[in-house]
Structure 1
Amino acid sequence: MSRRTTRNVSITKSGVIARELMDKMIEEQEKNKTNENIFESVDEQDNKLFDDLLSKYVNETSKRTIPEFFVKLYPVIDVPSDLKNICTYYSTKINDFNFDGLDSFNEVILPDKYCHPNFDFDHIESNEQYASVITCLDSLVSEFGQYSIGGYSNDPKICAICNLKYIIDAAKKISIHVVFYEKRILQQDMMEIVMKVGNQNTRRFAYDINEFVDDSVYKPKHVSKSSRQIFRHILSNKNYRGKESIYIAGQLCKPNDQPFNQIIQCIQDDSSTDDVISNWSNVIHKLPSLKEKEKEKTNAKRLVEVDNGVAEVAGDGKQQLKRM
């Protein structure tokens, strides 16, 4: 389906608001002449009135239009391997979904071309670590657009500070889901960003993303017909087939956020690719390999030796010990 564009307030309507603003200001000034207010000046009243009326205009233009498509999901977390039983839900109805009901909302992410950038964090243990995550996320906004964040914690102090849902018996200290909902990214690029390298003992991210990202949830590869990634909506509990549910539904952390902003799936329309992230390497950088790091250390050591007069550079450019 074609992508909808955000509705803009017409010039005519903005003109009406401007006239309303001026009329109200004049009216308030006339009142002020007859009823002197010793607490507020005319300018202060005008500023308050201006802010009030202007907010009507700003709020209307900032509404997000939800693109129309079918979101793949399943009502329990243990999705069967037979993908024929996958359900769909209309995108524009997601904000009205009953997340407190018997069915949970588990996105089924199949191999496709695009998705929204998303990160899962399950190993954060302190406010300081949480702050490092937020700093990392904020550094991506210039290329990735705004993000939705939601989650829970078993620490009441952290919940109060970070606006997370307090779940006293939650197994994890802090668990959050993040979706950059304004832009799309190639699935293959998303997989590249969260890729880990090295052997089992020294596995690390290939790029400089936050260390607390959980890479185990990213599985939309064309490995088999049943390849998929299951992403439980942050407002949903973890429901199973024939097994007791785990009540760990979180909450959205930002004011005025909405459930649809936590959806990873997106339209696959190529008629307009203005919202597709192509320059993610501007904010996420590849880390040097262990061999490259060792080489950098060796080169740095050699430069220090040359500076200290312990070694010198020969005619062929190679370093050699200085003769005394």
Structure 2
Amino acid sequence: MPASNLITGITGQDGSLIAKRLLEQGQRVTGLFRRSSADNFWRLKEMGILDKLTLLEADIESFGELGNILENGKFDKIFHLAGSSFTAESFRKPWQTFSLNTFAVFHILEAVRLKSPHTHLTIAGSSEVFGEFESSDVDLIRDSSSRFGPINPYGLSHLSNLQIMNYYRELYSLRIACPIMFNHESEYRGEQFLTKKLSSGVVRILENSDYSIVLGNLNAMKDWGSAKEFIEFLYLASENSFDGSFVLGTGHLTSVREIVSRVFEYVGIEIESIGDGLEEKILNRENGRVLISLDSRNLRVKETPPFKADRIECKNIFGDAPSKSVLDIIPDMVEFDLRKGR
């Protein structure tokens, strides 16, 4: 009988991508969604899989609901990908971020312990667990054994999740894979994220002579990769019942400024920069039109240092590691938004 999978956060970028991957392998997929995300099935529709899976409305913060679903479902694997995932928002709503991200993990693990202890879990982690660093730490390369020190509420919630997972592994022998994921993008990214703001924004610029994009820090650097590539390693971790944590990233840093250049280069617009700091503007070199301006409201309270993943850890476990840069997937993102006419 095909393996049975439960996915929380199935309407999001990662949830829909892993659902598609599992269905391609002939496996059964059940997805949980919140009532507030019921109108957010566009990814599943776009991938052509909405009618190929089972959807259940559920509150992942309700232990009772999760317990009933696990008892009735007999799932071989669970992918917990739901939660608050926008780091900047966590500064404005710290308690909500911590509550949603951490209590849900507690409830899922306790429900699995009591109702389905044979089930393998894959619980998404975040590189935001890394924060503070020593002055001697010059390379800023991170793996799952590196020092943690989150500097935002989102990272703090994920550090708590790592500790909760260790507790359930050690006391109850639950099998839990935790990919500590660096930024990963695709055409299915949400509108609030920088890469999507740029790919959809450049389409609006092409359609509307008055539109411009507002950003924060053009010099911020991150390890940005491909969500589709990352999903392959979540799939491998689950198929191999991997138990433990590992970092998932490209090992390469890309700046916001580089992404901006790539987006406009792809649509044939030459750009130039004028001004300094928050007064800097990105202009269309041909006609002087302002394409991008900056606003302090788009700055984080504290910027995470430019950490990058140690690819060796992932290669040692799976024989390979993510390698595709965000600059490689910008064309796919822009083409998607051009087709959608956003």
Report the TM-score, using the length of structure 1 for normalisation: 0.26
User: Higher helix fraction: Structure 1 or Structure 2?
Assistant: 2
Of the two, which has the highest radius of gyration? Answer: 1
Q: TM-score, normalised by structure 2?
A: 0.25
User: Which is bigger in relative contact order (C-alpha 8 A, separation at least 6)?
Assistant: 1
